[in-house]
Amino acid sequence: MIRTLVLIVRRPDISRKEFRDHYEDVHAPLAIPSMQGLKHYLRNHVAEALNGVEPGFDVLTEFGYGCAEDVKHIVDLLELPEGAHIRRDELTFMDTQRNTFFAIGDPVVVAGGEEVPEGAVKVAALVKTAAEGAFAPLLAAGPLRAVTHAVLGGPHGEPPWDEVAFFWYTPGALEDEHLRGWAPDATRAVLLRVDPCRTPL
């Protein structure tokens, strides 16, 4: 599977709730019928900056495609008249000039099993030029599951992050000092509680 991660920024004149509601109720249903070959589509809406660092985006959207031709089809679609309805709708709730996308590697499981228990809280961690073991404190907080993705590159120069990881915890674990105080030896790092929304394909 070919995986990309898109960091999407809301328009400054709308609230995060308005952004989320439009994405889930209008944009996703509008776009999905045109997304040939899409195998995975998950929006991780930013709910809280856990380490006090604001991320500069409002959702991390995960896309998974069957093959390179499927990626090309969607990229081309967004440039053609057939994709005009998607582009028009993006402008109603996104600050499209600030969106960023890049390819990521397959998930590498570093803790826990394949299944995520009911009620688990999802946390996203992104680091730029991290030292070895940057995620060790987050693992010390006892995640139910943890996966990392290497950032493989993007179409517009150097990607803003080098590694992205997702962790699932029990709700009470979010008060753990390892999480709230996470400040790895990195140029930049952000830790977010996210609310995932998956669309069946």
Q: Read off the pLDDT of residues 38-80 as tens digits, 9 standing for 90 and up.
A: 999 999 999 999 998 999 999 999 999 999 899 888 888 888 8
Report the DSSP pairing between strands 100-104 and 38-49.
unpaired
Contacts for 189 with CB less than 8 Å, ≥ 6 apart: 51, 53, 125, 126, 127, 128, 130, 134, 182, 183
Which pLDDT does position 111 carry in this prediction?
Answer: 94
**Assigned token pair, 46:** 């930013």
Which pLDDT does position 153 carry in this prediction?
Answer: 83
Q: Where are the domains of the chain?
A: 2-198
SS3 assignment, position 119: coil
> For the chain, which residues score pLDDT lower than 70?
156-157
Q: For the chain, what is the largest distance between any 2 Cα atoms, rounded to a whole number of angstroms?
A: 51
Which pLDDT does position 146 carry in this prediction?
Answer: 96
Which pLDDT does position 156 carry in this prediction?
Answer: 66
Which pLDDT does position 36 carry in this prediction?
Answer: 84
Please answer whether residues 163 and 148 qualify as being in contact, where contact means their C-beta atoms are separated by less than 8 angstroms: yes
Q: Is CATH 3.30.70.100 correct for 2-198? A: yes
